[in-house]
Chain A
Amino acid sequence: MVTIAEPGTKAASRFRYILDRRETLGAIFVAPAILYVLLLVGGPFLLAVYYSISAYTIYDPSWRFVGLVNFAQVIQNPVFLKTLGNTFLFTFGSQLLGLILGKFGAFLLMRPFAGRKIVRALIILPWAVPIALAAVAWEWMFDSLYSVINWSMIALGIIDRSDAPNWLGNPHLAMLCVIIVNAWRFFPFAIVIFLAGITSIPQDIIDAATVDGAGFWRRNYQIVLPLILPIVAVGLIFGIVFTFTDLSIVYLLTNGGPINATSVLAFQGFQVGIVSGDVSHGAAISLFMLPVLLVVVIIVLRFIRRREV
């Protein structure tokens, strides 16, 4: 071995290229997101957990520990049980409706036609319009006197003026209304999810199925749907979590009524905890969503994992 004298090597500063190191740079980039989650999600969550096992109200802001008493009281309340049922109906009803609309919408928007771009842009509107604005519009459409839906049906001779439905006044119809409005809000998202899924399937696979003798339905249910199911499942998780924890439509459209017919968990938690000031019970109601959502998310994620292997 020949050693060559190195002329005055200078050690580069230890920190000079620190930003070139993946682990350092990565940590720096991820830090804001983690901080955000810790401060604005983790903190309030732990606070809610503590509220739910304390006797905290805004009239008596004590941090007295009471164990699971709040939960026991909440469960014994028949309004709460109704609310729990409503929440499931509201969530899964609107998701199902939204998915069906989304799938049809996606299929329609796949095919080229004149003005497709405009329609594609318009169809995103329900998602983009502020819900407060949309809810007001829907409220007018469901109005007991001025409902444009009733007016149209009467004009078309489908129903008689005397038995025009009172959309938001009838408990069953009111639930249907909030489901419809939520599905209306969700379906553009479903369309986007379905479009993304369908366009990610290589054309060769669809063509192969066609040549192999599969008609429209078989292609859809044996090839396309199974292939996009993982993507749709992720979309569904989003939909379920957002709907389950949402109170805006109920709050704006029916205010939980009539007679709690459309009251959902988030709405009731808000009513009890914030409006009535019974923070500990409100927190207990809200925390009921956690195990439910956790189970749903775990089931769906496991399902996706299985499909991918």
Chain B
Amino acid sequence: MATVSASNIVKRFDEVLAVNGISLAIPDGEFVVLLGPSGCGKTTFLRIICGLERQTSGDLVIDGNIVNDVPPRARGVAMMFQSYGLYPHYTVRNNIAFPLRTQRVSGTEIEKKVKWASRLLGIEFLLDRRPRQLSGGERQRVALARALVREPTALLLDEPLSNLDAKLRASARQEIKQFQRRVGVTTIYVTHDQVEAMALGDRIAVVDHGRIRQIGTPTEIYDEPADRFVATFVGAPPMNLLTHNGACLGFRPENFLPREMMRDGAVTEFWFRVDRYEYLGSERIAYGTIEGFDSTQFITAKLPARIAEESVRPGERHLFAVHRQDLRYFDHDGKRTRGH
């Protein structure tokens, strides 16, 4: 277990700037999520940390040592790949044992550790199978066991849940989190799924175009987005943005409610014309436009499903409001400002 810190990491592939100066310090045992759209450079950054790619410039420090020129095998980090990268010709036992074999660990020690790791993940009964005989969830556990068996300095996870179906994903997410708490290993987790990021991360780093847009706790990222990109990337549906004279006003769909539902406090009112509804069981998403603003700007409101559809009819305008403290302001560069 160790600290990982990157300072001003740049990676250039010919003309493409994949990573454009990422600096990030991760204390021992923290769970950091790199969140960003595909192609934003998050996986490249992960590959730089484990040594599969060499950064064009910048320093990488693991456990207090600069590891820029240290090959992957000597970095002591473990990585779990999107497709798991299990060795198809080995049994689960040999898959888990492989990282130990490369470190020339003795046979009895290997056996002990494989047993430990497989018990930790509840896969003892799979040890003699081959990867192709496993389900997606089982493969994921084997990959995790293989990553953890040599007690890595840091655990890197590259979209580990994207190959699982939606139901399994939720439980696997839970397991990874509990598991990381128990083992206490410094973890860097890459995903494009904001739900995963919110659920898992002690801190989230939102990455776009090879740069970190914002780094903070899930609450900070969600409630205090540093710019328009973060505001619209995190949250489903994303934050509403109203452009006015170049500047931007933002508010979350769940904070945009019919005026009569607001009790007290300072509010800003809007005339909202609902276009259509999406019923999602626990809530109802209303899509529409706000009068007085550009009618191509679609605005969403997330209403509790108990509000009857009749109270706010599609096609009619209705007075909606947002609490003043829920309004966020962005300047014409998209950066967050204090407001009026």
The chain A residues found within 8 Å of chain B, CB to CB, are 202, 204-205, 207-215, 218, 222-223, 226-227, 307
- Which chain A residues lie closer than 8 Å to B78 at the CB level? 211-212
- Which chain B residues lie closer than 8 Å to A208 at the CB level? 79, 81, 84-87, 146
B83 at the interface (CB under 8 A from A): yes
Contact B89 A209 (CB under 8 A): no
Q: What is the minimal beta-carbon distance from B177 to any residue of chain A, in angstroms?
A: 23
Q: How many A-B residue pairs have CB under 8 A?
A: 64
B52 is contacted by which of A211, A214, A307 (Cβ under 8 Å)?
A211
B73 at the interface (CB under 8 A from A): yes
Q: A130 to B74: give the CA distance in the assembly, Å.
A: 50
Q: Which of B47, B82, B83, B98 has the most chain A CB atoms closer than 10 A to its own CB?
A: B98
A307 is contacted by which of B79, B85, B86, B89 (Cβ under 8 Å)?
B89
B325 at the interface (CB under 8 A from A): no
Contact residues on B (Cβ < 8 Å of other chain), bracket:
20 to 34
* A211-B82 contact given A205-B87, A218-B102, A226-B89, CB 8 Å threshold: no
Q: 11 additional contacts, CB 8 Å, given A214-B73, A226-B89?
A: A204-B82, A205-B85, A205-B86, A207-B85, A208-B79, A208-B84, A212-B98, A212-B99, A212-B102, A213-B73, A213-B103
Q: Which residue of B lies closest to A202 (CB)?
A: B83
Contact A207 B88 (CB under 8 A): no
The 8 A CB mask of B26-60 against A (1 = contact, 0 = none) is 00000000000000000000010011100000000
- Which chain B residues lie closer than 8 Å to A307 at the CB level? 89
- Which chain B residues lie closer than 8 Å to A218 at the CB level? 102
Contact A209 B98 (CB under 8 A): yes
B72 at the interface (CB under 8 A from A): yes
The 7 closest A-B pairs by CB, nearest first: A208-B85, A213-B102, A204-B85, A213-B73, A212-B99, A204-B81, A211-B79
A211 is contacted by which of B72, B86, B87, B103 (Cβ under 8 Å)?
B72
A210 is contacted by which of B52, B82, B84 (Cβ under 8 Å)?
B52
Q: A215 to B99: give the CA distance in the assembly, Å.
A: 11
The chain B residues found within 8 Å of chain A, CB to CB, are 47, 50-52, 71-74, 77-79, 81-89, 98-99, 102-103, 146, 150
Q: Can you list 18 A-B contacts (CB < 8 A)?
A: A202-B85, A204-B83, A204-B85, A205-B86, A208-B79, A208-B81, A208-B85, A208-B86, A208-B87, A208-B146, A210-B51, A210-B72, A210-B73, A211-B51, A211-B77, A212-B102, A212-B146, A218-B102
- Which chain B residues lie closer than 8 Å to A207 at the CB level? 47, 52, 79, 81, 85
Q: What is the minimal beta-carbon distance from A129 to any residue of chain B, in angstroms?
A: 37
Q: A214 to B104: give the CA distance in the assembly, Å.
A: 11
- Which chain B residues lie closer than 8 Å to A212 at the CB level? 73, 78, 98-99, 102, 146
Q: What is the minimal beta-carbon distance from B153 to any residue of chain A, in angstroms?
A: 12
- Which chain A residues lie closer than 8 Å to B102 at the CB level? 212-215, 218
- Which chain A residues lie closer than 8 Å to B81 at the CB level? 204, 207-208
Q: Which residue of A lies closest to B158 (CB)?
A: A204
Q: A209 to B88: give the CA distance in the assembly, Å.
A: 12
Contact A227 B146 (CB under 8 A): no
* A211-B50 contact given A202-B85, A205-B85, A227-B88, CB 8 Å threshold: yes
- Which chain B residues lie closer than 8 Å to A204 at the CB level? 81-85
Q: What is the minimal beta-carbon distance from A309 to any residue of chain B, in angstroms?
A: 9
Q: A226 to B87: give the CA distance in the assembly, Å.
A: 10
B87 is contacted by which of A213, A215, A223 (Cβ under 8 Å)?
A223
Q: A210 to B72: give the CA distance in the assembly, Å.
A: 6
Contact B85 A227 (CB under 8 A): no
Contact B98 A214 (CB under 8 A): yes
Contact A215 B73 (CB under 8 A): yes
Q: A205 to B95: give the CA distance in the assembly, Å.
A: 11
Q: Which residue of A lies closest to B79 (CB)?
A: A211
Q: Which of B72, B82, B146 has the most chain A CB atoms closer than 10 A to its own CB?
A: B72
- Which chain A residues lie closer than 8 Å to B83 at the CB level? 202, 204
Contact B99 A213 (CB under 8 A): yes
- Which chain A residues lie closer than 8 Å to B99 at the CB level? 212-213
